[in-house]
Amino acid sequence: MRSAPTILHLDMDAFFASAEQASKPSLRGKAVVVGGLGPRGVVATASYEARVFGVHSAMPMAQARRLAPNAAYLVPRFAFYRTISEQVMGLLGELSPLVEPLSLDEAFVDLEAGGAAWDEASARLAGGKLRADIRAATGLTGSVGLAASKMLAKIASEQAKPDGLVVIEPGTERAMLGPLSVRTLPGVGPATGDHLRRAGIATVEEIVEAGEDELVRLLGKAHGHGLYAMALARDERPVVAERETKSVSVEDTYDVDIHDRIRVALEVQRLADRCVRRLRGAGLSGRTIVLKVRRYDFSTLTRSETLRGPTDDPAVVREAAARLLDSVDTTGGVRLLGVGVSGLADYTQEDLFAQAAGEQVDAGAVEKAADTPETLPEVPVERRWPSGHDVRHTEYGHGWVQGSGLGRVTVRFETPDSEPGRVRTFRVDDPELEPADPLPLVARSVEAGGASGGGVLA
């Protein structure tokens, strides 16, 4: 391990919820929960005000509503979060060429590789400047951990939350880790933690006292050796600038179980097309098509088929997904469907036979639709207004959706730099109300030219 705390871990504070609070003045200081709002939705992020009530990420949304009935519940705006993430990752890239993103709001940085830090003092300066730059560029806060290894830097950033900076000085790691729960260590989830607790091991120091042989006996060779090394603060993993993408996939969870086999097939085709768009957007292709089906009883089935060569052809992926669906019994109902592609490559080796078959399937579907138009009457689609998403009214300007239903949509008109705004209600088909793009959280002066030092408007 290093002799200086020059590995930095950044974790944005309650990222999705904080971004929503920053863009909506009326929600600042209030409990905000972001996630799927349907009966089977889960919490993506909860603000610190919501966490006081016990709400946390990955919790079923129904449970969150029981714990915090007066919180604001919003549908995620991933494109908006991604824009902010790109700003943050750009700032990390200015510190070092070795930046390892873990998600939209989390990354490791090797400060030494970029010459940004070489000892504890310079690492503290770099971490403090980064936090200030992030606040200036995005209006949001992030917590920073500094240590001599990735594992310790991540533990330090968790201790720094919210909006703080913690440094673990080399030589103090064992003393710091000793009294912490075994759940602090990477790879120790609820099941492993309970297993260790039943064996009388609750803290990191008790892992060391139990010894490596006992850990191997309890957890197996690979996990036992790895956990014992972490308990001794040994972590030689380097910061990797580019993490290889292993698969591309999309999935949907349905509020009501799907029983109609034709509807299931149509959903699989739609997911296959979405997956291919994502695949092409990343400049990739793949050989293995994967279908995921979660049935009414929560049992989850996966089926896969490997092609002769990598492809990014939507007809090929649709056809393979349809074949995989044929092997799955969905008569009891389906609550989740997913389509993925793995075995990725950055080139395509077109399977002409599969392409031709896919084109025939497409042609047959078109002919069938033309033969039976009366069975598929065209139904007007009511405009959807997801809670939390941006809108613009020709008279009242920019706002966001507080809620909708029964043919009405309620909008609060405010912007990131305004006072909390007024609420008005409209018909869902009001021609003067349209979806809008999110506004930037931080306004920049013309003189700043968009530099990261722009200030936050009060």
User: What are the catalytic residues?
Assistant: 106
Tell me which amino acid residue 428 is.
V
Q: What is the Cα–Cα distance from 285 to 59, expressed in whole angstroms?
A: 34
Q: What is the Cα–Cα distance from 362 to 389, expressed in whole angstroms?
A: 35
- What is the residue whose two structure tokens read 């349907």? 38
Q: Which of the 8 DSSP states describes residue 59?
A: S
- Strands of 408-413's sheet in order across: 422-427, 408-413, 397-405, 390-393, 433-435
Give which of 295, 281, 276, 280 is closest to 340, Cα–Cα: 276
Beta strands 43-46 and 334-345 are unpaired
Residue 18 contacts by C-beta under 8 Å, 6 or more apart in sequence?
A: 12, 47, 140, 141
Q: What is the Cα–Cα distance from 361 to 268, expressed in whole angstroms?
A: 15
Give which of 114, 127, 118, 125 is closest to 153, Cα–Cα: 127
Q: Other C-beta atoms within 10 Å of 248: how many?
A: 22
Q: Please list the alpha-helical segments (H only) found in 237-286.
A: 261-281
Residue 69 contacts by C-beta under 8 Å, 6 or more apart in sequence?
A: none
Give which of 234, 235, 238, 236 is closest to 208, Cα–Cα: 234
Half-sphere exposure of 212 (CA within 13 A, CB side): 8
List for the chain the helix, strand, coil content (%; round to 5): 35, 25, 40
In angstroms, the first-to-last Cα distance of the chain is 45
Residue 244 contacts by C-beta under 8 Å, 6 or more apart in sequence?
A: none
Residue 183 contacts by C-beta under 8 Å, 6 or more apart in sequence?
A: 189, 190, 193
Residue 397 contacts by C-beta under 8 Å, 6 or more apart in sequence?
A: 413, 415
